[in-house]
Structure 1
Amino acid sequence: MTMVVLAGNKSARILGLAALAAALLAGCGAVSNAPTPSPLPAVQNKVGATVAWRTNIGAQTDFRFLPAQLGSDKLVVAGAANTLALLNVDTGAKLWQVQLEKPVAGGVGANGDLIAVGTLKGELFAFGDDGKSRWKVQLSSEIIAPPTIAQNIVMVRTGDGRISGLSAKDGSRVWQFQRQLPALTLRNFAPMAVVEGSALAGLAGGRLVALGIVDGRVLWDSPVALPRGATELERVADVVSAPVVTGNQVCAAAYQGRVSCFSVLNGTLAWSREASSFSGVAVDSDHLYLVDAEGAVQAFERISGRSLWRQDKLVARSVGSPAIVNGKVAVADYEGYVHFLNPEDGSLVGQLATDGSRIAAAPQAINDKLIVQTQSGNVFALKVNK
């Protein structure tokens, strides 16, 4: 569904991915040209993928609820419509569960003894690691991306193009960053990444920005991709997946744009390749993995950006961001299947069903487990052999 927000004095239309697909197909007649999902590939489970535990948290939802790690052995999870819970990572047991005052709209942020979660109405709720309410504040627009907490600052992205830095103590505003939105943007569900005193955020218009955590000042601002084309739709080139830090580099991908890696220190471009993605990237010591806009999984050499392989057996299955678990590449799809790939050649080496509903949020590799949350409200911990 198309939503209208105000960004400064300019009206910016924000499209979800389903709405974008419909818009791109407009004018093609009554018959949809949307690609038919690839059939579920038959895969021998060479990696011994198993479900370690399963826990229900909330109800059916269209939102992307992204779990967050708290300490070494706990997992904070939000669920529809207004559930927040703390789980044991090893067993999935609920340590506590609370019901929020309002329905939540995205993942949670957690660090130290603080947990933060937002709503479509722009309310941000903060809880202690004991599940007790700390504070709540009203922000300027919807909150669908997980907050990021570091150095006693809670950083929150809102749908009007703002990033606010709030005091972890009481929610008072410490700083605010804002960019004027392009005429047409994608909804941004992506969390920020934190490294060396800076918060890295992908923006509409294809840019990656590094902000000082304590004061919000812009440390550097680099283009992942430059908008191009004759129409507003063709010029959509947003970074709507989380940037990934590896060593002294940060990498990000833009829809209808490129995948690029930059110096964490100053934003200097290391390499860039043509690629379109709204799902995101993952990295290991040698490779960068990308799920492109068609749903194919690609691998690039991490240092040079040289293309290595492309796995297209999952095309049009609404495959989400990749993750690395026990040396395997994992991606999840619209039917709740998690697929495991060999990082050397992209071959499918494992497959595991969950509950049949879409896994929209990025899988999280925590300790030796892969954590996924489905849109039916179930959280799964998966294990694979090395």
Structure 2
Amino acid sequence: MEKEIYSKLAPRFEAFRLYEDTTHTVTYMARDITADKIYLIKSPRTASIDSQDIINHYKEINDIISEIDHPNIEHIDEIQNHDGNLFAISLHQEKTSLADQTQAGLTLKDALNIMIQAAHGLSAAHNSKIIHGSLDPNSISTLQNGETVVSNFGAYVLAKGVPPQIQNLQKLQYANYLAPELSDGREPTIASDIYSLGATIYETVTGRAPFSGDNAQTVFVQQREKGILLPTVLNKNLPDDIETLLIKTLQLEPENRYHTAAELASDVTRVRNIIGPEVLIRRVPSNKTPPPDKTHQNPPKKAPMTELSTDLPDDRSDWIECPACHTIMAAVSTKCEKCWHPLSKETLVTTTQAERIQRIYNQKVIIRKILRYVLPITASIAAIYFVSRPEPPPGLNLDPPTTDITAISQPGEWVSFGYDTAGTSYVITDDSKLTGTLKWVAEIGEPISGGAVSYKKKLFVVAADKFLVSLDQETGKTLWRTELPTPSSATPLVANDLVFIGTAGSSVLAFDTQNGEVVWDVPLGEGILRSGVLSNGVLYVAGINGFLFALDANSGEVRWKREMGSGIRGTPAIHEGKLLVATTDRHLFVLDEVTGEITLDYLLPRGAEQSPVIDPQRSIVYIGSNYRTFHAININATNILLEKGINRWWAQLYIWEVVPRGPIQSGAIWNQRLPSKVTTDAAIGGGKVFVGTEQGALYALNDQDGSVIWMFQTDERLNAPITAVNQTIFAGSNDDTLYAVDAQTGTEIWRINTEGNVQGAPSYSNGVLFVTSRDGKVYAIR
């Protein structure tokens, strides 16, 4: 081969020496005498390939790769073709493969950096319609400048040129990393590349591939018949977030994996940014023990120890003991049934000796099982109970609040975010249908992020994040204007002639509706981004750092506060003594309104940045998550003992296909997967749930099962909470437009341009819709 390459490429290249020899290619290192530089020359093994089309396809791939200028793809300088012999020529750079780096030892952050760069390289190739198809630790390398590059594009094409009868049995260095859908001869896809990258990093951080075998067919069989061992079982140092993303990349069904390499890179970046650089990867040696001879592909399944016959004379040596593992078996055996150790006549034993050895062995097995399973399980249960035992409710044994007011919208009013304490954003009136005609436009002068509320023929809005403004509802004239101590983007809440507003500077204030004077100002120690909810004399507000506060509405005194674990971005909701909040670390909490005791902790697939919305008739809450799912949950459900721990292991058993379905949490009714992330608070009414997404789609879902009834597409992302009035749905978009959509059919009725993004919830009062905009205006629409 060396002479053949030399004869084709001389006299430009000289001093050839072998650099890399793989199943389908051979690479030589040579000096370019015209530039005095060292190059690598890779050529496919054409002798083992029975089709010129395969060589042409391989050349097309490398031609495209040579045109891609990306720091995470190994550059090919030129492609030469001499009499059907293809040569890919690249400038030699010192590099270390991921396989070698893993053996030498990596920090977890270094491994994730490599994964991120490899994913970016794959993304660049995918954008050019190139699939790698054979990614493995030897295809990912780190240069001396620290950049990671992906190489060996097109190797899977050369593998197809091998005669079919030996394709699946051929030993491939990348067999352990092939996606399961390739077993039936499908072409590799973006999804299969993502699987291969996930399998490669799985091996890097655990010390073993998720599945392994001598050839692709063996690996495919394991993928169908076995489940993936949790990475944290092999390496307890791994954070749960890494485990989650690895399991997602290794899903059997391609559609359940990351959809793009860029999406995977983004998720890995997020995980990398929250771990310390000092975390080391503890490599675990593979459990695979190769068979002693090539007549078996796998050791026989472990079986119970052979039953010993007591009818034989004690002095007969009809049994043999394995000198390695001390297993007893029939004397006719030549290899140990358990460990494959060769057996000899020197270890023959009598029946009495065999029974004694077996008895001692069985005792040791029982002790090992107790130490391995019973004690850890007992300790785990005790630890789970200790961690998950409920905290004492913060509101026990408190005196009643000094007032019993509740923020209730009277006819012709809209006094709070979401219209009522349940946050339904749905109102039924006898007013005429809105036509989209402007009644008046009030120029506030500063951008408005929150919505307007209506109380006793007055409107209240927060402008430029720092002014509370009162307007005449009929004319739009400014009645008074009060500067807040710190910025706020919340929608005001009005009740009992008081306007309540939380600020980013950690204060909650109450103002007089008549003149805007401060009635009370209470510092809470953390910022308040969204509106509160007022029920039975208590104002509930949520902080950006995860604390939930209960304040006396009359005095502002803090009755109790409770840490919910992470930031809260939505407005709480209340129904029949149940207080609901959702957090950015994936929890929906249902609490007792009076005491703050948690009655249900529901784990969402991703964090929630929206407000929970309650159906008052059915006691069901609707909430979206950042994982593109929308959920319906029974608020009267309660967690069972150890539910979190049980569900975690149940999910793993489901992945291993031991159980037929995934875990079902207490309270779960249905969830609906949408094509993109949910970005709006929902509105409910008329048997439907209305919600918007980041791709500008407005959905009407059946409130019974979550099925999509209709979808209306806008031009930009929907941000503003949805509002429903009679049979019309109102949705504000980032394209500076308010849309009016028929609730029954999903068809557009009218639209109006607001000259600025609509981010606050539209509100309705006495036949007029009030809409705020980032252009600093309030629009009154008839």
TM range (shorter): 0.7 to 0.9
Deviations 1:7-40 (A, max 9, x none): xxxxxxxxxxxxxxxx96987xxxxxxxxxxxxx
Q: Please tell me whether the aligned partners of residues 332 and 338 of structure 1 are also in contact (alpha carbons under 8 angstroms).
A: yes
Q: 1:308 to 1:58 in 2, by over 3 A?
A: same
Rounded Cα–Cα distance in structure 2 between residues aligned with 1:242 and 1:69: 21
Do the aligned residues in 1 keep the contact of 2:548 with 2:564 (CA within 8 Å)? Answer: no
- 1:78 partnered with 2:470: no
Indicate the residue corresponding to 1:243 in structure 2: 612
Quickly say closer, same or farther: Cα 1:266–1:370, change in 2 above 3 A. farther
Which of 210, 217, 241 does residue 597 from structure 2 map onto? 217
2:772 is aligned to 373
CA pair 132-213 structure 1, distance change in 2 beyond 3 A? farther
What is the aligned counterpart of 1:296 among 692, 697, 714? 697
Residues 102-153 of structure 1: CA deviation (Å, up to 9, x unaligned)? 3334322222222221222212221122222111121222211112222221
> In 2 relative to 1, CA 49–215 (structure 1 residues): closer, same or farther, beyond 3 Å?
same
What CA distance in whole angstroms lies between the structure 2 residues aligned with 1:174 and 1:199?
A: 15
How far apart in 1 are the matches of 2:635 and 2:522? Answer: 32
The aligned residue for residue 348 of structure 1 is 748
User: CA separation in 2, counterparts of 1:140 and 1:90?
Assistant: 39
Which protein has the larger Cα radius of gyration, Structure 1 or Structure 2? 2
User: Is the partner of 1:104 in helix, strand or coil?
Assistant: coil
Distance 1:292 1:89 in 2: 31
What residue number does 2:539 align with? Answer: 154
Which residues in structure 2 correspond to 1:212-291 (within 5 Å)?
Answer: 212-223=592-603, 225-226=604-605, 237-246=606-615, 247-248=617-618, 249-266=620-637, 268-275=667-674, 276-291=677-692
SS in 2 for 1:209: strand
Equivalent residue, structure 2, for 1:48 = 435
Indicate the RMSD between aligned Cα atoms, in angstroms.
2.7
Q: 1:328 aligns with which of 723, 728, 738?
A: 728
From the superposition, tell whether residues 220 and 317 of structure 1 become closer, same or farther in structure 2 (CA, over 3 Å): closer
Residue type of the alignment partner of 1:322: I
Change (3 A) 1:369 1:221: farther
Structure 2 gap segments, 5+ residues each = 1-261, 267-432, 639-666
Contact 2:716-2:733 at 8 Å conserved across structures: no
Q: Equivalents in 1 of 2:767, 2:610: separation in Å?
A: 23
Amino acid at match of 2:632: C
The equivalent residue for 1:59 is 446
More helix per residue: 1 or 2? 2
1:376 positional shift: 2.4
Q: Aligned partner of 1:56: which letter?
A: E
- Note if 1:125 corresponds to 2:509: yes
Any conservation in 2 of the 1:119–1:142 contact (CA below 8 Å)? yes
Cα distance 1:329–1:352, how it changes in 2: closer, same or farther (>3 A)? same
Contact 2:697 / 2:718 at 8 angstroms: preserved in 1?
no
Do the aligned residues in 2 keep the contact of 1:111 with 1:150 (CA within 8 Å)? no
Q: Give the match's secondary structure for 2:756.
A: coil
The answer to which structure has the higher strand fraction is 1
Unaligned runs of 5+ in 1: 1-22, 28-45, 227-236
Matches within 5 A, 1:151-190: 151-181=536-566, 188=569, 190=570
Query: What one-letter code is carried by the residue in structure 2 that aligns with 1:301?
Result: N
CA distance in 2, matches of 1:341, 1:167: 40
How many residue pairs end up in the alignment? 322
TM-score using structure 2 length: 0.39
- Confirm or deny that 1:316 pairs with 2:728: no
Residue identity (%): 21
Structure 2 CA distance for partners of 1:203 and 1:253, relative to 1, 3 Å: same
1:300 Cα shift?
A: 1.2
- The amino acid that maps onto 2:735 is E
Q: Distance in 2 between matches of 1:203 and 1:367?
A: 35
Compared with structure 1, are the counterparts of its residues 121 and 222 closer, same or farther at alpha carbon in structure 2 (3 Å cutoff)? same
8 Å CA contact retained: 2:434, 2:767: no
Deviation at 1:179, TM superposition (A): 2.2
Find 2:587's aligned residue among 199, 207, 218.
207
The secondary structure found in structure 2 opposite 1:280 is coil
Are 1:110 and 1:148, in contact at CA under 8 Å, matched by a contact in 2? no
- C-alpha change, 1:122 and 1:257, in structure 2 (3 Å) is same
Higher relative contact order (CA 8 A, sep 6+): 1
- Alignment-derived partner of residue 488 in structure 2: 104
Q: 1:193 aligns with which of 554, 567, 573?
A: 573
Alpha-carbon distance between aligned partners in 1 of 2:459 and 2:434, rounded to the nearest angstrom: 25
CA distance in 2 between counterparts of 1:78 and 1:69 reads 13
Mark the CA change 1:74 to 1:151 in structure 2 (over 3 Å): closer, same or farther.
Answer: farther
1:359 Cα deviation (Å)? 0.8
Cα distance between partner residues in 2 of 1:91 and 1:215: 44
Contact 1:155 1:163 survives alignment (8 Å):
yes
Q: Are residues 205 and 125 of structure 1, via their aligned partners in 2, closer, same or farther at CA, if it must alter by over 3 Å?
A: same
TM-score normalised to structure 1 length: 0.75
Once the 2 structures are TM-superposed, how far is the Cα of residue 172 of structure 1 from its aligned partner?
1.8
Q: How far apart are 1:81 and its partner, in Å?
A: 4.6
Contact 1:58–1:81 (CA<8 Å) still a contact in 2?
A: no
1:351 positional shift: 0.7
Aligned partners of 1:199, 1:380: CA distance in 2, in Å?
33
Q: 1:145 aligns with which of 527, 530, 533?
A: 530
